[in-house]
Structure 1
Amino acid sequence: MVTLLTFAAVLTAALVTQAKPTHGGNDPSYRHTIKAKGIEASFIEYGATLTNLWVDDKNGIPRDVILGWDDTTQYNLQSDIPGFLAAVVGRYANRIANGTFTIDGTEYHTPLNENNITTLHGGDMGFDRLNWALIDTGKNNVSFKLTSPDGDEGFPGTTDIIVKYSVNDNQEWHIDYEGTTDKDTIMMLSQHGYWNLDAFTTSETVEDHVLQIASDKFFKTDGSLIFTGEFSNVEGTALDFRSAKSIGQDLQEATECGFDCIGYDNCWIFSEPNPDEYQATVYAPSTGIQLAIKTDQVALQFYSCHGLDGTLPIKKKKHHKHHGHHDRRCNDDDNDKQEYVQKYGCLVLETENYVDGINNLEWGEEHTGILRKDDKYTRHAEYHFSVRRDD
């Protein structure tokens, strides 16, 4: 009897160990999926990363329009190709010149993780490289929390960060950021999604994507993409997206993206930002899928993925078919040859504050990114998907 009970206990323990936890347990690569009418999104705790975003194209076929890995464990193992893949970037998004800044006379230093010249997206181990904690989840919403200790990557103050993701029946994906600190620090959070609204159905690049940015000025940079502090007018330049045009139209003339570079890696300024209006719109004529962005942030960085070099695999599960009541996703491409994302194969649109504002105090403290001890950081962004038919 004792032997039978012991065997039963061992068998039960083995079954429990093999069972997949309902909400991922301690697995930072477990997908947490939220959905509403016409939209479905999945996230993992590593980097509070968006792994999949499904919307229908103009023929009613669901497409996954965000780049990433089919195997979510690869986000950690392959975090540098490319970096910041659809994760939350921080503690301070974009660049800090020379990895140095000053708050009230005290100088701080952060890692020079970009060409040994600038701090990019929070340093060597920014928020995109950390495991966030799942704190809430529902049918159409999920929230993650991260505590960044005092001195983390050189930043002062222990900060608590919460990011809330939600979707609704209007095919909108909402992001709400919250942050507090126990010491004056700097904070600028953004989402670093790599988009391809064609979902690689007809083209290897996004050059035919049609983009519009409601801005007449951009930040001037030097060859190392350090901001000079000068605002430049888009008039007469390849950076003029005030009227919608294809990304490829002036691509070969877009050379303000660093040394020996052709493409876009620039930040546009919203002179009179209105969080109730869309600041940027992009769509793919092939699928008709359109993405429109509105935010309470005052700037937008557009990156044309010219740094990609064919090392990031294109997801094989980039589309699915409906299978009965459970609407399970299937992989139609299991036997296909693996394809890879090429140069200009995606675009990134980061909503953010003035870049390197902490080193350009003349712009005003509201643009420095300083978060005071008794204040709360709150920012919001909305990504609205729809179908556009030009025929």
Structure 2
Amino acid sequence: MSSSPVSDPSAPPAPPARLEAHVIRNAAGASAEVLNYGGIVVSLRVPDRAGVFADVVLGFAEAERYLGAHPSFGEIVGRIAGRLTAGRLRLPDGSTHQLVLNDGPNHLHGGGAGFGRRFWEVRRVEADSITLHYHSPNGENGYPGALDVELTYTLRADNALVVQTSATSDRVTPLSMAQHSYFNLAGEGSGDALDHQVQIFAEHHIPAADAAMTLSGHLTPVGGTGNDLRQPRRLREVVPQLFGGHGEHYFIRATAAAADAPTRVARVYEEKSGRVLEVSTNECGLQFYTGAKLDGSLIGKSGCAYGPHAGICFEAQGYPDGAHRPELGDILVHPGTPQKRTTIYAFSVA
């Protein structure tokens, strides 16, 4: 049982011989570039209604830039995606573990040196897919148990990027990863995404309790709230109605199993390009983030500054406090039973 504060290891781990970038492609001409650092999706090029390809995720032109500070562009975040209040992790056996605090009073995205700030081993590269592996030792950032994670990106022939994870642990421990790309369907250098039309197919959300994004734990119907995105709404109309203009955690289901087929949870349409993004997952929840904290200080791949809402995130994940509140989304990994999750980002045109 641990109760003392844990300091955040701010320095990234020593790099391997080189930072590696791998490009996967499908027969239709779509491509994705992936780093062996953070499992980061550096670029994702898909066609518009005229067949013109553009990169639809925010990021940097130089791979080395990802070794520095940035707002989780394209990362696999974990062990726990999202904020855990006061970094206090409570497990069903009654034990309490203090995680690193790297977001004011809270633990965010696994800590300042979470999965998105670690080097992964490249296990397999094929024309249309790449598989990475990361070993997280017991006690890393305060988490109990040694954990092995396998991550596979596959670019299907229908222009869907499939994200599959499989994880095993030597003891009961929480795991709730998320793919943290910022999407702009008009192209990453095209300005803000405020005219994107967004739908999220969820009946309930779990709002934050205060400006520090303290977890409320209250399952709340979306009806009659600004978080109701069951029908398409332009982002510019939605943002003023959201808490801090940020976005919320949407509840999809209480349990997720490897056998569960991904179900559609979100749809985005950008009128000028005609691009459509549909998000499907077998995860328990979806964190929608509007990119509200982008402030123009970061220069993207096209040489343009990323201002507020330059990209939007659809982070399929469990509820951050799911180890203690399984009714809001069970996130525990049990020895002998791999945790398997699938999220699909499917692109088409209208």
Secondary structure of 2:231 counterpart = coil
Could you say which residue in structure 2 is the equivalent of 1:97?
A: 85
Equivalent AA in structure 1 for residue 209 of structure 2: D
Corresponding position of 1:299: 285
| 1:222 maps onto 2:213 in alignment | no
Aligned to 1:42: 33
Amino acid of the structure 2 residue aligned with 1:285: E
SS at match of 1:248: helix
Distance 1:221 1:314 in 2: 30
1:131-179: per-residue Cα shift (whole Å, max 9, x none)? 0010000001100000011100001111111101111111111111011
Show the counterpart of 1:244.
232
Residue pair 1:293, 1:381 contacting (<8 A) in 2 also: yes
Q: Distance in 1 between matches of 2:188 and 2:287?
A: 23
**Which structure 1 segments of 5+ residues have no match?**
1-24, 317-337
Q: Is the 8 A contact 2:57 2:188 kept in 1?
A: no
- The C-alpha deviation readout for 1:250-286, integer Å capped at 9, x for no partner, is 32122x2xxxx2x133111125997353210102111
1:114 maps to what in 2?
Answer: 103
CA shift for structure 1 position 109 = 0.8
Q: Which residue in the other structure is 2:145 paired with? A: 157
For 1:98 and 1:358, locate their aligned partners in 2 and report how far apart those are by CA, in whole Å. Answer: 15
Name the aligned partner's letter for residue 268 of structure 1: Y
Query: Does the alignment pair 1:373 with 2:335?
Result: yes
Is the aligned partner of 1:204 residue 2:194? Answer: no
Change (3 A) 1:163 1:109: same
Counterparts of 1:271 and 1:371, CA distance in 2 = 17
Question: 2:239, 2:290 within 8 Å by CA — same for their partners in 1?
Answer: no
1:145 and 2:145 correspond? no
- The aligned runs of 1:353-364 (5 Å cut-off) are 353-361=318-326, 363=327
Q: Secondary structure of the equivalent of 1:252?
A: helix
Once residues 207 and 220 of structure 1 are traced to their aligned partners in structure 2, the CA distance between those partners, rounded to angstroms, is 22
Q: Say if 2:62 is the partner of 1:63.
A: no
Q: CA deviation at 1:243?
A: 0.6
Amino acid at match of 2:194: E
SS in 1 for 2:315: strand
Structure-2 residue corresponding to 1:264: 246
The answer as to 2:348 corresponding to 1:383 is no
**Cα deviation code 1:229-265 (max 9, x no counterpart):** 11111112211110111111132122x2xxxx2x133
**Secondary structure at the residue paired with 1:73?**
helix
After superposition, give the CA deviation of every residue in 1:295-352 in whole Å (9 maximum; x if it has no partner): 1012110100110111121212xxxxxxxxxxxxxxxxxxxxx420101111011001
Whole-angstrom distance in 2 between the partners of 1:92 and 1:251: 26
Distance in 2, matches of 1:178 and 1:276, equals 15
Question: 1:185 & 1:269 partners in 2: Cα distance?
Answer: 21
- The DSSP-based 3-state class of the residue aligned with 2:23 is strand
CA distance in 1, matches of 2:219, 2:108: 21
CA contact (8 A) 2:250 2:285 kept: yes
Cα distance in 1 between the residues matched to 2:23 and 2:253: 36
Aligned residues: CA RMSD? 1.7
1:124 to 112, 121, 135: 112
Report the equivalent of 1:213.
200
Q: TM-score normalized by structure 1?
A: 0.80
Aligned residue number for residue 9 of structure 2: none
Letter in 2 for 1:27: R
**What residue is the counterpart of 2:66 in the other structure?**
75
Contact kept, 8 Å, 2:286 with 2:314, in 1: the verdict is yes
Task: Tell me if the contact between 1:38 and 1:169 (Cα under 8 Å) persists in the aligned partners.
Answer: no
Q: Would you say how many aligned residue pairs link Structure 1 and Structure 2?
A: 328
CA distance in 1, matches of 2:196, 2:265: 17
Contact 1:94/1:356 (8 A) holds in 2: no
| Greater displacement, 301-310 / 31-40 | 31-40
